[in-house]
Copies of this chain bind each other. A is one copy, B any other.
Amino acid sequence: MDFSSKLLENAVNEMSRLPGIGKRTALRLVLHLLKQPKENTAYLSEALLHLRNDMKNCEKCHNISDTVLCAICNNPKRNSEIICVVEDIRDVMAIESTSQFNGLYHVLGGKISPIEGIGPQNLKIDSLIKKVANEEVKELIFALSSTMEGDTTNFYIFKQIEKFNIKISTIARGISVGDELEYADEITLGRSIVHRIPFEQSIRG
């Protein structure tokens, strides 16, 4: 693409680094901003900068949070004996929207994926094991996407915490194999939490 303006070219290039945004889409988005009042661009830029610079991770569950402890971990009404293991904040949001879960979360930050070079050491697995070993956790619910990577991660964690005397369950396979958790409808996702089954049972098929 041949831009007549360096400013425009820069903005389009930066915008098109975002996943799924090609040069043409980036140009359309940037031209839209040019037609809007200057404040809109300022709001967008500030919101992104604030987020990137001030965002914390909850010390307890590693979820994205504005404060040292996230709102869920900080809520005394939540049952701290049940921990739901998820991949990222989108899964927390998806499960929260079902209103079926009153425990706490543990956000791994991804799944074990040799192809993408993500091993157990890149995820928040150690802190989960420590949590299980030291705290009064009675049940762990695996709620990772039902994919090869999700299953691998489940199994890896299962092997590490087998020795502790806690219940380990996984959300019911009401969700089709291969589907991403964040796109599941609320009823299916809600039921899958209510009908969770022991992990041993799940790996037997």
A93 contacts which of B2, B14, B52 (Cβ < 8 Å)?
Answer: B2
Q: Is the CB of A93 within 8 A of B31?
A: no
Q: Is the CB of A66 within 8 A of B5?
A: yes
Q: Is the CB of B54 within 8 A of A49?
A: no
> Do A7 and B45 contact each other (CB < 8 Å), given the known contacts A27-B90, A32-B19?
no
Closest to A43 in B: B14
Q: Is the CB of A55 within 8 A of B2?
A: no
The reply on A51 being an interface residue by CB < 8 A is yes
> Do A96 and B41 contact each other (CB < 8 Å), given the known contacts A8-B89, A50-B10, A54-B7?
no
The smallest beta-carbon distance between A33 and chain B, in angstroms, is 6
Q: Is the CB of A64 within 8 A of B8?
A: yes
The reply on A1 being an interface residue by CB < 8 A is yes
Oligomer copy total: 2
The reply on A157 being an interface residue by CB < 8 A is no
A41 contacts which of B8, B10, B41, B48 (Cβ < 8 Å)?
Answer: B48
Closest to A44 in B: B14
Given A7-B51, A15-B48, A34-B55, 6 more contacts at CB 8 Å? A2-B97, A4-B70, A4-B93, A5-B70, A7-B50, A10-B50
The reply on A42 being an interface residue by CB < 8 A is yes
The smallest beta-carbon distance between A88 and chain B, in angstroms, is 7
Closest to A25 in B: B20
The reply on A194 being an interface residue by CB < 8 A is no
| In the complex, chain A residues 86-104 whose Cβ is within 8 Å of any chain B Cβ | 88-90, 92-93, 96-97
